Structure 1
Amino acid sequence: MRTHAQDGRPRRARGLVPVIQLLALVAAPVAGAQSASQGATLFTQRCATCHTVGEGDRVGPDLHGVMERRDEAWVTRFITSPGAVIDEGDPVANALLKQFNGIRMPDQQLAPEELGALYAFFRDCAKKGPGGCKPSPAAKMGTDATSEEVARGRRLFEGTEALAKGGPACFGCHDVRGLGVAGGGTLGPNLTFAFARMGERGMRPLLAKLDTPMMAALYAKAPLEEEEQYALKAYLADVSRDGSKPRTDRDFFYLGLVGMLAVLGFMGVAFNAHTKRGQP
């Protein structure tokens, strides 16, 4: 006959309860870390254009410590419908509107689990301190680059500055607008508008992984360092700014001109040599 505890549950089943609770406690930090990591990715994709976490104000406020400064319900209302919160006369929302020159944040369509991951990221950053969630160099926005960073990206692209791990320069396979007289290679696509087409979301993982069939073979043992990824992204963002179509005949014209001059020079040398041999 099975014995029961006073609460009616078998003793064996009751003995499993502490084990289940222990497993839940062990799994909780792992789940929290995964959620914060997902929130970090979401922040980079959806928020980093206008906000930072611990690096100061941008278009909007620095969000470091936002979950400690504001009630979570208020943060949720403001993220999902900031215009409505402002128009209701909320004093905090209107103070932020005034502080940031009347720029209104657009509504963000985020699922509850996405909001939860974002909040986990904010709280994790608050625990780490102001510099704890500083993004990697590659995570910075390409459009925020300085002229020096853009110039370095061009040098890396055209090969006048070597890549740290010995990978080949991009111009061997790709061309962009204004790259020298003869331009770059044609084995890969022209990258003049690559950043405009792909944006931050597409360009960042492409430079980090370099996993297309051709690039995987070339860079498997020579990946780009994060600073190199950013410099190249900054350069491609810069050349994308001009929306006019690149000239497709430029390379052929200059190559033909250079070739013609070389032939004429050779003919002149040969003629002078022949003339000298014919002299007494």
Structure 2
Amino acid sequence: MRTRVLGGWPRQERTLVPIIPLLAMLAAPSALAQASGQGAQLFTQRCATCHSVGEGDRIGPDLHGVLERRDEAWLTRFIKSPGALIDAGDPVAGELLAKFNGVRMPDQSLSDAERASLFAFFRECTQKGKGGCKPSPAEKMGTDATPEEIARGRRLFDGTEPLTHGGAACIGCHDVRGLGIAGGGTLGPNLTFAFARMGEKGMRPALAKLEGPMMGALYAKAPLVEEEQYALKAYLADASRDGSRPRADRDFFYLGVVGLVAALGFIGVVFTTPSERGHS
């Protein structure tokens, strides 16, 4: 038989119950930060083409402070099906359609958890103030890159454009199909299909951390900035689109041709008589 004490709770339970809300309060900041981070990634992948957060209107409106301007329930309905609200005669949806030149936002099939993380990101941006919550460019999907971003990634890879912090170009240790005449290095793995193997989820942290015995030492004091991480990811994503295998003997073939031409030229010089050289 359990003994009750003052207040109606056993002594053990009275001491344990207050700990539960305390733990919830301690866990809340980290949970909110995690949700906001997921929302930032989702925004970059799904929304940043048409919207900014604090940098002005684009194809669609600037979403800084959107949860202060709009009711959350209305925003949820609009995200799910903007066209349905427009066709139903919703005045706010109609006003947005007119303001942005009749461009209709496509329906977004987000889960409840995804939508909650997006809203957490918007709230954090509002707290930080306008311009204080720019999503990381590295979070953008590599497959969404522009031709200019892909071209920059290739230049960074082959070293024709130096890295911001002076790190070594990837070509010194790695190769990618179609890179130069002689190709790249062979100290590290061929990266032609790196994006296909690792996917967006694996490639993003790999470029951010650059771990491993060799890369860790090379880039410890020269990490890639976020724009460089994205450009390289874009280049590798583009290289992975061609599924045919690169030629394993490519480097040796071209190096052999160049070596043969150089050798023949040298032989020609050595075996030319002085009189023949004088007539030339």
Q: Provide TM-score, normalisation by structure 2.
A: 0.72
User: What residue in structure 1 maps to residue 88 of structure 2?
Assistant: 88
Structure 2 spans left out of the alignment, 5+ residues: none
Q: Name the Cα RMSD after superposition.
A: 4.0
- Asked if the contact 1:157–1:170 (Cα under 8 Å) also holds between the matched residues in 2, the reply is yes
Q: How does 1:129-144 map to 2 (within 5 A)?
A: 129-139=129-139
% of aligned pairs identical?
A: 61
The alignment partner of 1:181 has SS state of: coil
Structure 1 spans left out of the alignment, 5+ residues: none
Q: How does 1:62-211 map to 2 (within 5 A)?
A: 62-139=62-139, 153-161=153-161, 163=163, 164=165, 166-167=167-168, 169-170=170-171, 172-177=173-178, 179-185=179-185, 188-189=189-190, 191=192, 203-210=203-210
Q: CA deviation at 1:208?
A: 1.8
Q: CA deviation at 1:240?
A: 5.6
Distance 1:107 1:258, change over 3 A: same
Q: How does 1:43-58 map to 2 (within 5 A)?
A: 43-58=43-58
- Asked if the contact 1:162–1:169 (Cα under 8 Å) also holds between the matched residues in 2, the reply is no
The alignment partner of 1:108 has SS state of: coil
1:61 aligns with 2:61: yes
User: What residue in structure 2 maps to residue 218 of structure 1?
Assistant: 214
Q: CA deviation at 1:198?
A: 7.7
- Asked if the contact 2:45–2:141 (Cα under 8 Å) also holds between the matched residues in 1, the reply is no
Q: Provide TM-score, normalisation by structure 1.
A: 0.72
Distance 1:71 1:169, change over 3 A: same
How many residues were matched structurally? Answer: 266
Distance 1:220 1:31, change over 3 A: same
Q: Write the distance in 2 (CA, Å) between the matches of 1:10 and 1:139.
A: 52
Q: Write the distance in 1 (CA, Å) between the matches of 2:100 and 2:64.
A: 17
Q: Write the distance in 1 (CA, Å) between the matches of 2:106 and 2:90.
A: 17
- Asked if the contact 1:42–1:118 (Cα under 8 Å) also holds between the matched residues in 2, the reply is yes
Q: Write the distance in 2 (CA, Å) between the matches of 1:103 and 1:263.
A: 65
Q: Deviations over 1:173-224 (max 9, x none)?
A: 21243x3333334663353x8779988666433422446xxxx333123153
Distance 1:173 1:139, change over 3 A: same
User: What residue in structure 2 maps to residue 259 of structure 1?
Assistant: 259
